Amino acid sequence: MSSADRLLTTTLRAYQEPHRPADLDRLHASTATLLSSLNNHLNISLLTSHLLTARAIWGGPFFFDGGDGLRTCLRILSVYNTAALHVQRNEEENAKLKWGQQPVGSGVRCDAWARAVAKGADDRSERWKHLLVLTGTLMGMESEDRRALSRGLRATLEQAVVTAANLALETINRRMVPTGELGSNAVMLALTYVFPVLSDHHKQMLNCDLVLPAAVRAMIGPEGFQNGDFLRSISAGNVAGHETFYRASPSSFAQVQQLEARPLPQNMGPLSRLTAFAVQHASDSRVVLDAHDKLLVFSAGLLMRWQQCPFSPVDISTEAAVLPLI
């Protein structure tokens, strides 16, 4: 048995063990290594299929309550993006080899690898999880002007991304899955990354009547701007005199830092552009009006909370004197 086969056996077994946060980094690292080193297409599909149902990754008491869920989604997307980059670079290096030289990596070509990954996104797992691996694969192969896939397979993969996003949102909208909020946010997170890679033709195929409300929820909800409640924590802090925010109210400052570190706030620019696209292309005017109302209520609440914040009276011209940096 080769070292890759032994690592595959160990990793598949670890997937089914109880959720242990301390082991997650090791699992993600071994998965990325295997994806770019396995030379059997069936094993690549098997690894993907088991990853998307692994209770060691998708379990835990705080996973579905907004704790580790979206961070895990981002890690899965990153694992496949990184693995796809390695496969693409290995294929480029192998094309330069002379006859008889040992190939770099697994030797699996980009098209075959992408097909094997897509086959692993099967009926055992949810569509929103499929979107994560498909997005990571497409980005790793085709973003930043890379052209690793054949034209036909790139179109097929883009179609698969759009289909997975639409079907995931349709299922969640019918409340057919218990992980609806996480799944909806995961779809938005994936779309913010993959949207620039999609062709105009495939962008037009997104169901914007479903994308728009999901995007607004992601933007202002608990994983986004939290309906402006982070400003309440600042207002509750002991901010007085000439003390800086992080000196006078370290707990409030820490909460703002934690908000900034969440996947959706970090990607709020791309999410806002996706939202604008959905507004322009939604076919149901009621969806657009509802999004307008929700954003208006959010803006009004944000203004009210800001006016109650101790920083709001500080004029920008005197900010350097009132809030000196340490």
Find the mean pLDDT for residues 186-210.
97
Find the mean pLDDT for residues 261-279.
95
Length of the chain: 326
The pLDDT of residue 59 is above 90? no
Q: How many whole angstroms from its chain centre is CA 224? A: 13
The pLDDT of residue 242 is above 50? no
| pLDDT score at 67 | 58
Place of tokens 């913010």: 192
* Rounded Cα gap, residues 308 and 302, in angstroms: 10
Q: Please enumerate in sequence order all residues whose Cβ is within 8 A of that of 89, keeping only pairs 6 or more positions apart, or say none.
A: none
The pLDDT of residue 299 is above 70? yes
CB 280 within 8 A of CB 240: no
Closest-CA residue to 31 (of 39, 14, 18): 14
Report helix angle 41-51 to 3-15, nearest 10: 20
Alpha helix (H) ranges present in the chain?
3-15, 24-37, 41-51, 55-58, 69-94, 110-120, 127-142, 151-173, 180-194, 200-203, 208-220, 230-236, 245-248, 250-261, 263-266, 268-281, 285-307, 319-322
* Rounded Cα gap, residues 127 and 12, in angstroms: 21
Find the mean pLDDT for residues 231-246.
56
For the record, the structure tokens of 201 come out as: 């033709």
What torsion, rounded to 10 degrees, do the Cα atoms 206, 207, 211, 212 define?
120
| pLDDT score at 24 | 86
Instruction: Work out the pLDDT band at 250, boundaries 50, 70, 90.
Output: low
Residues above pLDDT 70, as percent of the chain? 87
Q: Please enumerate in sequence order all residues whose Cβ is within 8 A of that of 205, keeping only pairs 6 or more positions apart, or say none.
A: 159, 162, 166
CB 105 within 8 A of CB 86: yes
**DSSP secondary structure of 25-42:** HHHHHHHHHHHHH---HH
The pLDDT of residue 62 is above 70? no
The pLDDT of residue 276 is above 50? yes
Residues above pLDDT 90, as percent of the chain? 62
Instruction: Work out the pLDDT band at 314, boundaries 50, 70, 90.
Output: confident
Alpha-carbon distance values, 236 to 192, 240, 245, 252, 306 (Å): 33, 11, 12, 8, 12
Chain segment 133-176, per-residue pLDDT in tens:
999 999 999 998 889 999 999 999 999 999 999 999 999 988 76
Chain segment 16-51, per-residue pLDDT in tens:
988 777 788 899 999 999 999 999 999 999 999 999
Selected residue with higher pLDDT from 231 and 265: 265
Closest-CA residue to 32 (of 56, 11, 54): 11
Instruction: Work out the pLDDT band at 326, boundaries 50, 70, 90.
Output: very low
| pLDDT score at 325 | 47
Domain edges within the chain: 24-58+67-89+107-198, 207-312
CB 134 within 8 A of CB 161: yes
| pLDDT score at 145 | 86
The pTM of the full predicted model, rounded to 2 decimals, is 0.89
Find the mean pLDDT for residues 226-236.
76
Selected residue with higher pLDDT from 323 and 125: 125
* Rounded Cα gap, residues 256 and 123, in angstroms: 39
The pLDDT of residue 118 is above 80? yes
Q: Please enumerate in sequence order all residues whose Cβ is within 8 A of that of 177, keeping only pairs 6 or more positions apart, or say none.
A: 126, 171, 183
Q: Please enumerate in sequence order all residues whose Cβ is within 8 A of that of 65, keeping only pairs 6 or more positions apart, or say none.
A: none
